[in-house]
Structure 1
Amino acid sequence: NPARRAFVVEMVPQDQVPNAVSLNSAVMTSSRIIGPALAGLLIATLGYGWAFVVDGASYVAVLVALALMRTSELRPSAVAERGRGQVREGLRYVRQVPALFIPLAMMGVVGALSFNFQVVLPLLVTRTFGGAAATFTLLLSFMSVGSLVGALVSARRTEVDVTHVVAASAAFGVAMLLLAAAPSLPLAFPLGFAVGVTSISFMTASTAIVQMRAEPSMRGRVLALQAILFLGSTPIGGPVLGVVSDLWGARAGLVVGGLAGIGAALWGRWAFRRAGDDRSGREASSGPDPVLVSEAATAPQPA
């Protein structure tokens, strides 16, 4: 939800945006772990109806949290007036700002070829290792726990720059290649955990840098474009990886995803250097909100 993600920036100071983005990812990831388990328990003990009742009641907590927010402490962003051509304006804005265009392009490639776990992993478990549905669920659980750990580790960062995006993409690609080379199912589980850690690290780093570099009045449109690129590219790459996995096996599908992550990292590093954004993601010529750029430039950089 672009509106919800854009709202994160209004709730915390600028230097805490990476932490807030990572914590949001941790909450979403933990819900994917706890939610299905709780739903299964409710269905087994009380039936399907009560599962829906509890699901509906959970929204009360969200409403209470919104009602308890101290609105005087929010940092509202400028809102662009509605009008024609806003989509084109958003695309043009992203294309002119390398610190936005490059991570979004990386997310499109990685989303299409590296995040299609639902296509490749079932084939890896059943055809390559001869496992059953329960084994596939266990592998997904390892990945989900890894995602949660990765999100919590990422939340400790106080600064995110392009080196984090590039390094996370490369690490994600390497983890997928190692999973593709796993000689046995027991080794696939810890490697699945590593895939979970690195995948969420890439997502949180790229999302944080996009949120921090976008002008407040354009942030919603930029995040909407990010959602389209990531969620829209995954179904496009799914059939490609399906064909590759059918012809050459699930390991080949994982190799394609791993090479995509590494390739995106190499291209991103080259593109950032070419644009003059070596570390902070701050372009040499034009850029987003000068206040954000100033804060990013004066913040301590990692060694």
Structure 2
Amino acid sequence: MFASLRVRNYRLFFSGQVVSNIGTWMQRIAQDWLVFQLSGNNPIALGVAVALQFTPTVLLSLWAGVLADRVDKRKLCILVQTGIGVQALVLGLLDVSGVVLLWQVYLLCFVLGIFSALDVPARQAFVAEMVGRKQIANAVALNSSVFNLARIVGPAIAGFAITWVGTGWMFVANAVSTLAVITGLLLMNPDKLFRGPAVVRAKGQMREGLAYVRGRPDLVAVMALVFFVSTFGITFFTSLAIVAGNVFGTQADGYGLLSTLLAVGTFTGALMAARRGVKSSPRVRLLLMAALGLGAVEFVTALMPTYVTFGIALIPLGFATITFLNTANALVQTAVSPEMRGRVMGLYVLVMIGGNPVGGPMVGWMAETFGGRSPFYIGGTISAVAAVVCAVVLARRGGVATGSRLAGLRVLFSSGHATTTSRHVA
């Protein structure tokens, strides 16, 4: 289960993530609650903040993927983490001093989005450089496990700490936590990295990456499913604040507890994924079942009548969510050539997060128009339908296609493995 931790460079990265991710989730809870307070518990305002934070992903992620293929990913991660720390510190100081305004939070959400758009493709592609191709699935799952362990600890700390000292100190704490990641990156041995061939700066590299994916029906199918599930189904990270405040009438501690219960499920799912990552390759069937299960459980969660039953239902929802996201990530990373990994992960991040500028305001609008539970049952329905449609398309194409491209897809779907033909695998 912990095979990737035998690699020193990855251990340093992993250790920094343990600290930094707790700070990240403390900031996420504090940011949502701060916007909610400054706007007078307005769900649309919360959606606007989410949209501003994720809009840069739409604008920059493809270019960020090209950049990740061209430059030293370790140095890029150090630069980006420094920017994230400064953003958190500025927001924290504004909040602690009592002068923070809603427009300032919006602006800093956008700034954070810029750094995040640069960070995610580089960090995702850097995982393969730290551990090598054989350990990618395990390393991705371990990253997810520590991220979701932080989602248990971070919201729990933030939910209670906000009631004692306010939201501002959560941002300051996150700024300090970024030092752990930066230190780990600085201590790495660059000579021990599994680097692919250098990609020389040239025109048309973004188009080259898009053409590569377009010529891979397996990648297109996975990314289409990720887009629909992420945009419409995985919106509860935003809508939980609405449910906690407007449906069940709780304060920040109640919101933090719901986030923690969701994280219990995602952490458990991440550990299971880490175990699978040692024993087998990621499977398409598991991806489809996780998407279908996510949709079904999300729909049922919306029907839970009390705060307690709603919170309990979040545990299996978290499990299905992280199983889906981990499997999709590992499928994409293990199926691409090293020199294309940054660009492909840039596109993957775009389809995974790029719908949030639409999804954020949409969640707020649905909650205000149809009630606070509506993002759950609407998103659950769309996710389940997307899983069924994707399964049908894959089965039909895999069953009848001829030629090298779709023949590879047929092998993919019938065997359930992420790899297709040898020319598609690094």
Query: TM (normalized to structure 1)?
Result: 0.83
> Is 2:231 the counterpart of 1:112?
yes
Instruction: Note if contact 2:163-2:252 (Cα within 8 Å) is conserved in structure 1.
Output: no
The residue that corresponds to 2:376 in the other structure is 254
Gaps of 5+ in 1: 293-303
The residue that corresponds to 1:136 in the other structure is 255
> Is 2:130 the counterpart of 1:11?
yes
The residue that corresponds to 1:270 in the other structure is 392
1:89-142 deviations in whole A, cap 9, x for unaligned? 212211111221111111111111112225433343344444444322211111
Instruction: Note if contact 1:115-1:234 (Cα within 8 Å) is conserved in structure 2.
Output: no
Instruction: Note if contact 1:98-1:272 (Cα within 8 Å) is conserved in structure 2.
Output: no
CA distance in structure 1 between the aligned counterparts of 2:219 and 2:142, rounded to whole angstroms: 22
Instruction: Note if contact 1:79-1:217 (Cα within 8 Å) is conserved in structure 2.
Output: yes
> Is 2:325 the counterpart of 1:203?
yes
CA distance in structure 1 between the aligned counterparts of 2:261 and 2:164, rounded to whole angstroms: 24
1:123-180 deviations in whole A, cap 9, x for unaligned? 4334444444432221111112222221112111132121121111111111101101
The residue that corresponds to 1:87 in the other structure is 206
Distance change in 2, residues 1:247/1:56 (3 Å): closer
Instruction: Note if contact 2:163-2:253 (Cα within 8 Å) is conserved in structure 1.
Output: no
Distance change in 2, residues 1:55/1:130 (3 Å): closer
CA distance in structure 2 between the aligned counterparts of 1:42 and 1:140, rounded to whole angstroms: 14
The residue that corresponds to 1:234 in the other structure is 356
CA distance in structure 2 between the aligned counterparts of 1:217 and 1:154, rounded to whole angstroms: 26
> Is 2:124 the counterpart of 1:2?
no
CA RMSD of aligned residues (A): 3.0
Letter in 2 for 1:288: H
Q: CA deviation at 1:225?
A: 1.2
Distance change in 2, residues 1:68/1:150 (3 Å): same
CA distance in structure 1 between the aligned counterparts of 2:254 and 2:164, rounded to whole angstroms: 21
1:15-40 deviations in whole A, cap 9, x for unaligned? 32111001111222233443466677
Q: CA deviation at 1:74?
A: 2.9
The residue that corresponds to 2:272 in the other structure is 153
The residue that corresponds to 1:220 in the other structure is 342
> Is 2:424 the counterpart of 1:288?
yes
The residue that corresponds to 1:245 in the other structure is 367
Instruction: Note if contact 1:43-1:51 (Cα within 8 Å) is conserved in structure 2.
Output: no
Give the percent of matched residue pairs that are identical in Structure 1 and Structure 2.
Answer: 32
The residue that corresponds to 1:295 in the other structure is none
1:250 aligned counterpart, secondary structure:
coil
The partner residue of 1:181 within 303, 327, 349 is 303
Distance change in 2, residues 1:270/1:42 (3 Å): closer
Distance change in 2, residues 1:124/1:43 (3 Å): closer
1:30-87 deviations in whole A, cap 9, x for unaligned? 3344346667769968x968984x6555445434433544545432112322222222
CA distance in structure 1 between the aligned counterparts of 2:324 and 2:170, rounded to whole angstroms: 37
Moved more, 82-91 or 123-132: 123-132
The partner residue of 1:102 within 215, 221, 237 is 221
Query: TM (normalized to structure 2)?
Result: 0.60
1:226-273 deviations in whole A, cap 9, x for unaligned? 112222202212333333333322333211111122122112222332
Letter in 2 for 1:280: H
CA distance in structure 2 between the aligned counterparts of 1:81 and 1:213, rounded to whole angstroms: 22
CA distance in structure 2 between the aligned counterparts of 1:108 and 1:128, rounded to whole angstroms: 28
The residue that corresponds to 1:299 in the other structure is none
Letter in 1 for 2:354: G
Letter in 2 for 1:151: A
1:194-218 deviations in whole A, cap 9, x for unaligned? 1111111111110111111111111
The residue that corresponds to 2:147 in the other structure is 28
Distance change in 2, residues 1:179/1:221 (3 Å): same
Letter in 1 for 2:199: A
The residue that corresponds to 1:171 in the other structure is 293
Distance change in 2, residues 1:56/1:119 (3 Å): closer
Instruction: Note if contact 1:148-1:197 (Cα within 8 Å) is conserved in structure 2.
Output: yes
The residue that corresponds to 2:196 in the other structure is 77
- Paired residue total: 288
Instruction: Note if contact 1:142-1:192 (Cα within 8 Å) is conserved in structure 2.
Output: yes
